[in-house]
Amino acid sequence: MKKILIASLFLLLGVVGNSQELRCEVEILAPQLKKDPENTQVLEQLKKTVMNFMNNTKWTSEVFKEHEKIETSLLITISERSGDAFTAKIQVTSRRPVFNTNYTSTVINTLDGAFNFNFQLNAPILFTQGVYTNNLSSVLAFYAYYVIGMDYDTYALEGGTKYLLKAQEIANLAQSSGQLGWSSSESVNNRYWIIENILNAQFKGMRKCSYEYHRLGLDLAHDDAKKGVDNMTQALSYLEQVHVNKPGSVNMRLFFVAKVNELLNVYSEASNLNKQTAFNIVRRLDPSNIQKYQKMLR
């Protein structure tokens, strides 16, 4: 089990403590910046400040034990610096443990190329819910809530809604900032659409898939491999209506970015019926990886 995200399921565990929600690793790369003492100092402090912000902010009112924290990674790649202004991209990855195993399943793996921000030495990252302060705090807080919400969705059907709504509030407040990544008219692949889509009724099948794939599939497979894989195949079928409703959505792409290698591993040992059924689904929904998926049928 992981955390007390659904009272009816986890209340009996008697979870106590006061830990924050994320165990977030941060890496800063700046291959195009001049390697000098000033840049080195700024980048080192940026890393520490971002890590402190992500790991020490109390994002929810829930109580997490140390082993329940959500494993998260941020890779920030800076391409340009002009004084306190940075042009960068950020890759966000999160994982959740699979019950009774040492395996962790990737839930989110997204690369956001529109991450411009300002940062000053010795300045903390300030964030207040319901207020837009700056792009650095807004992007980081957006992804903190997105990670938490999507993680909760893997433990209960639509269990992460209240945290996804917090991410949506951040996106809505940031639209007037003029910063890249927040506008509905700017791109169909940005932060606005990631959160808008996942909360839209047309994407209910994706959220149902996330729950059943992880909780009734992966978590069950340790004790009953056949039933677990059967449930995963059923879960994947819910994505087909999402594809009909919103073909080519960024959310569908991100799902398969996170899951393609896992699917290959799971179905390598599955029954022929499950292999063929799953293959017929993924070849329609993720055609860019068709050559990989063909290995499922061997």
pLDDT in tens, 22-74: 999 999 999 999 889 999 999 999 999 999 999 999 999 998 999 899 999 99
pLDDT of res. 248 = 93
Residue 1 has pLDDT above 80, yes or no: no
Quick: pLDDT tens for 168-224: 999 999 999 999 999 999 989 999 999 999 999 999 999 999 999 999 999 999 899
Please give the average per-residue pLDDT across 230-254, as a whole number.
Answer: 97
Specify the pTM.
0.92
Q: Are 89 and 32 in contact (CB under 8 A)?
A: no
Residue 2 has pLDDT above 70, yes or no: no
pLDDT of res. 222 = 87
Quick: pLDDT tens for 119-169: 999 999 999 999 999 999 999 999 999 999 999 999 999 999 999 999 999
Q: What is the dihedral of CA 46, 139, 181, 146, to 10 degrees?
A: 140
Residue 16 has pLDDT above 50, yes or no: no
pLDDT category, 284, cuts 50, 70, 90? Answer: very high
* Residue of higher predicted confidence among 65 and 4: 65
Q: What share of the chain is helix, strand, coil (3-state, %, to 5)?
A: 55, 20, 30
Please give the average per-residue pLDDT across 4-14, as a whole number.
Answer: 37
What is the distance of C-alpha 196 from the center of its chain? Answer: 14
Q: Write down the domain spans for the chain.
A: 13-199, 205-297
Q: Are 98 and 222 in contact (CB under 8 A)?
A: yes
pLDDT of res. 116 = 96
pLDDT of res. 18 = 53
What is the longest distance spanned by two Cα atoms in the chain? 60
Quick: pLDDT tens for 265-278: 999 989 999 999 99
- Give the chain's radius of gyration (CA, Å): 20
Residue 137 sits at φ, ψ, to 5 deg, of -65, -35
pLDDT of res. 273 = 96
Quick: pLDDT tens for 86-126: 999 999 999 999 999 999 999 999 999 999 999 999 999 99
Residue 5 has pLDDT above 80, yes or no: no
pLDDT of res. 14 = 33
In three-state secondary structure terms, 246 is: coil
